[in-house]
């Protein structure tokens, strides 16, 4: 329970369904003095958010506990800073889901004998049957598929690809069949006091949204400033640090051209940011590591749809797996904005097949 409308309504729905519910708030301890909720901030996990979550739990008459994850969040902060310093674009929300929400919280669930971990994510868990190897001959075995939410504008299945397959049967996403406006209406009718609360859209440990300044403060004296160059090597300016850039970025380059220019690559070794045209940004393939498959690991190449960013549209592609939890993606049509450090997630229709981290 983050104190927001989604997790609050999720708890309310579970209570209505007759479940015994325990409310948990994840305290990260990162910059809490600066993370107090205000009208202009959209982070989460602040002291004010904790109080909102506690108040909702009291209304629902369920136990409520604050989990101290400051040490674990420290690992996520380190990952975040190291990725930007290495010229990559991190995705701490996916890492948090994998390590904490569907990692450490399962340890707590086991310690109190809880069968499920439930969150306010917009995604669906759908029972499926398959005759996959490993069961009795000819006998289908029940599996759970992670699928997109009914509300496509709020779907969060992309950030859940890292959940371990054997945990899917112990997850609950009560909001998967709901639209966001309906969730707010439920919160209003139930008088939960959070119906009008704004969605958290910033990284929770960077509540002001200035991730570049956050990285600089955390990194200390390490200098990542350098040249801005064109694809043919011509220096056209300087930048203050690699943390200001991601592949596909157009704004904030500080350089005017007659036609649009984009960040097409970042070179951590030379600290150069390379800019080019839209055509120079296009790529036909990518390689990825750290694969996590929510189906039996594919042994043969297969065709599917892939997303390379949370807000990107799925595109048609062919996928081939390799040893060491690696796979390659070849796009049917060239794709723009492929950023090392981001996740690439494979879908077949609404179902998440798995994903990994773009190299």
Question: What pLDDT sits at residue 291?
Answer: 98
4 alpha carbon, distance to own chain's centre:
17
Alpha helices in the chain (DSSP H): 5-16, 47-60, 70-85, 92-96, 105-111, 180-189, 211-219, 278-281
The pLDDT of residue 219: 86
Those residues whose C-beta lies under 8 Å from the C-beta of residue 111, and which sit 6 or more positions away, are none
Superfamily name with CATH number, domain 5-189: HUPs (3.40.50.620)
Q: CA-CA distance, 356 to 210, in Å (whole number)?
A: 27
**Active-site residue, selected from the candidate residues 44, 93, 96, 304:** 96
Query: How high is the pLDDT of residue 33?
Result: 42
Domain 223-276 has CATH 3.40.50.720: no
Residues 22 and 39: their CA atoms lie apart, in Å, by 29
Among the listed residues 252, 182, 162, the one whose alpha carbon sits nearest the alpha carbon of residue 9: 182
Which residues, 6 or more positions from 150, have their beta carbon under 8 angstroms from its beta carbon? 124, 176, 177, 178, 179
- Residue 354 parent element (H or E): strand 351-358
**Residue-range domain boundaries for the chain:** 5-189, 223-276, 283-358
Distance CA(33)–CA(75), nearest Å, equals: 20
Q: What is the value of pTM for the model shown?
A: 0.90
Q: What is the pLDDT along the chain (359 residues), one digit of tens a residue?
A: 999 999 999 999 999 999 999 999 998 876 554 344 433 344 566 788 999 999 999 999 999 999 998 888 899 999 999 999 999 999 999 999 999 899 899 999 999 999 999 999 999 999 987 544 443 333 444 589 999 999 999 999 999 999 999 999 999 999 999 999 999 999 999 999 999 998 876 688 887 788 899 998 898 888 999 999 999 999 999 999 999 999 999 998 888 888 899 999 999 999 999 999 999 999 999 999 999 999 999 999 999 999 999 989 999 999 999 999 999 999 999 999 999 999 999 999 999 999 999 99
Question: How would you class 191 by CB atoms within 10 Å of its CB: exposed for 0-12, middle for 13-18, buried for 19 or more?
Answer: exposed
Q: Closest by alpha carbon to 6, among 243, 166, 219, 176?
A: 176
- Cα 292 → chain centroid: 14
Indicate if 204 belongs to the active site: yes
Give the span between the Cα atoms of 75 and 238, in whole angstroms.
31
Would you call 96 a catalytic residue per the annotation?
Answer: yes
Cα–Cα distance, 138 to 301 (Å, whole number): 25
The domain covering 283-358 belongs, at the CATH homologous superfamily level, to Translation factors (2.40.30.10)
The pLDDT of residue 324: 96
From CA 314, how far away is CA 18, in angstroms rounded?
Answer: 37
């Amino acid at each position: 329970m983050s104190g927001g409308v989604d997790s609050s309504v999720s708890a309310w729905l579970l209570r209505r369904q007759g479940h015994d519910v325990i409310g948990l708030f994840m305290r990260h301890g990162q910059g809490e003095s600066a993370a107090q909720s205000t009208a202009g901030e959209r982070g989460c996990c602040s002291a004010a958010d904790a109080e909102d979550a506690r108040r909702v739990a009291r209304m629902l008459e369920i136990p409520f506990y604050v989990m101290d994850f400051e040490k674990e969040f420290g690992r996520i902060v380190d990952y975040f800073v190291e990725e930007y310093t290495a010229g990559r674009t991190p995705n701490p929300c996916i890492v948090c889901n994998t390590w904490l929400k569907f990692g450490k919280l399962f340890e707590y669930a086991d310690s109190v004998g809880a069968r499920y971990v439930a969150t306010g994510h917009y995604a669906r868990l759908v029972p499926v049957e398959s005759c996959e190897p490993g069961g009795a001959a000819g006998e289908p075995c029940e599996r759970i598929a992670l699928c997109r939410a009914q509300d496509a504008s709020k779907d969060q299945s992309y950030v859940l690809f890292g959940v371990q397959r054997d945990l899917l049967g112990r997850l609950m996403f009560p909001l998967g069949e709901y639209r966001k406006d309906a969730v707010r209406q439920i919160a209003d009718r139930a008088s939960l006091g959070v119906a009008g609360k704004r969605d958290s859209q910033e990284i929770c440990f960077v509540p002001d949204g200035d991730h570049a300044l956050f990285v600089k403060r955390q990194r200390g004296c390490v200098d990542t400033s350098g040249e801005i160059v064109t694809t043919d090597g011509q220096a056209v300016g300087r930048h203050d640090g690699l943390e200001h850039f991601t592949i596909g970025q157009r704004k904030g380059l500080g350089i005017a051209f007659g036609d649009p220019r984009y960040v097409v690559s970042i070179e951590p070794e030379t600290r150069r940011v390379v800019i080019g045209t839209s055509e120079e940004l296009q790529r036909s393939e990518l390689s990825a590591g750290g694969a996590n498959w929510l189906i039996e690991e594919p042994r043969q190449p297969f065709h599917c749809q892939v997303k390379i960013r949370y807000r990107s549209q799925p595109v048609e592609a062919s996928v081939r797996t390799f040893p060491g939890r690696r796979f390659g993606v070849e796009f049917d049509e060239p794709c723009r904005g492929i950023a090392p450090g981001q996740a690439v997630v494979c879908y077949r229709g609404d179902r998440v097949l798995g994903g990994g981290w773009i190299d």
